[in-house]
Amino acid sequence: MLPTQSLKEHVAILAFPFGSHDRTILRLACRLARAAPNVQFSFLTTAKSNDSIFSTFKLDVPNNIRAYNVEDGVPANDVFSGNPVERLDLFLKATPANFQKGLDVAVTYGRGHASFSDMVVVTKMVANSNQTLEVIPGLSPMHVRHSKETFFSYTLSKIGCVLPRSTAIVMNFCQELYPTALFDDLKSMFPALLNVGFLTQELPLPPLPPSDSDATECLSWLDKQSSKSVEYISFGTAATPAGLELKALAEAVEERGIPYLWCLKDDHKHHLPNGFIKRISKQGKLVSTGVFVTHCGANSVFESVANGVPMICRPMFGDHWMNGRVVEEIWGIGVKI
Provide the whole-model pTM. Answer: 0.62
pLDDT exceeds cutoff 60 at 76: yes
Domains, the chain, in order of start with CATH, read: 4-195 (3.40.50.2000), 211-336 (3.40.50.2000)
| Nearest alpha-carbon partner for 304 in 216, 217, 252, 234 | 234
Helix axes 21-35, 47-57, angle to 10 degrees: 60
**DSSP state, residue 116:** P
Query: Given pLDDT bands bounded at 50, 70 and 90, which one contains residue 225?
Result: confident
Q: Average pLDDT over the chain, rounded to whole? A: 77
User: Cβ-count burial of 239 within 10 angstroms (0-12 exposed, 13-18 middle, 19+ buried)?
Assistant: buried
Average pLDDT on 33-41 reads: 92
Cα 182 from Cα 188, distance rounded (Å): 10
pLDDT exceeds cutoff 50 at 265: yes
In this structure, of 98-107, 146-155, 227-236, the range with the lowest mean pLDDT score is 146-155
Digit-coded pLDDT (tens) for 129-169? 455 556 566 666 655 443 445 656 666 677 777 788 888 88
Cα 36 from Cα 81, distance rounded (Å): 43
Digit-coded pLDDT (tens) for 184-221? 888 888 889 999 888 876 656 566 666 566 666 777 78
Which residues are CB-contacts of 10 (< 8 A; sequence separation ≥ 6)?
39, 40, 41, 42, 106, 107, 110, 111, 114, 115, 116, 117, 118
Cα 189 from Cα 191, distance rounded (Å): 6
pLDDT exceeds cutoff 80 at 91: yes
Rounded alpha-carbon distances, angstroms, from residue 273 to 87, 239, 241: 30, 20, 15
Cα 191 from Cα 187, distance rounded (Å): 5
Query: Given pLDDT bands bounded at 50, 70 and 90, which one contains residue 182?
Result: confident
Q: Where are the alpha helices (DSSP H) in 36-142?
A: 47-57, 84-93, 97-111
Average pLDDT on 211-238 reads: 76
**DSSP state, residue 132:** B
Highest mean pLDDT among 24-28, 204-208, 282-286: 24-28
Give the per-residue pLDDT at 309. 85
Q: Where are the alpha helices (DSSP H) in the chain?
A: 21-35, 47-57, 84-93, 97-111, 151-162, 180-189, 218-223, 243-256, 276-279, 298-307, 320-325
In this structure, of 68-72, 129-133, 234-238, the range with the lowest mean pLDDT score is 129-133
Average pLDDT on 244-249 reads: 88
Q: Which residue has the higher pLDDT, 85 or 261?
A: 261
pLDDT exceeds cutoff 60 at 308: yes
Cα 314 from Cα 296, distance rounded (Å): 7
Give the per-residue pLDDT at 35. 92
Sign of CA dihedral 260, 261, 266, 268: negative
Give the per-residue pLDDT at 128. 42
Give the per-residue pLDDT at 297. 86
Query: Given pLDDT bands bounded at 50, 70 and 90, which one contains residue 228?
Result: confident
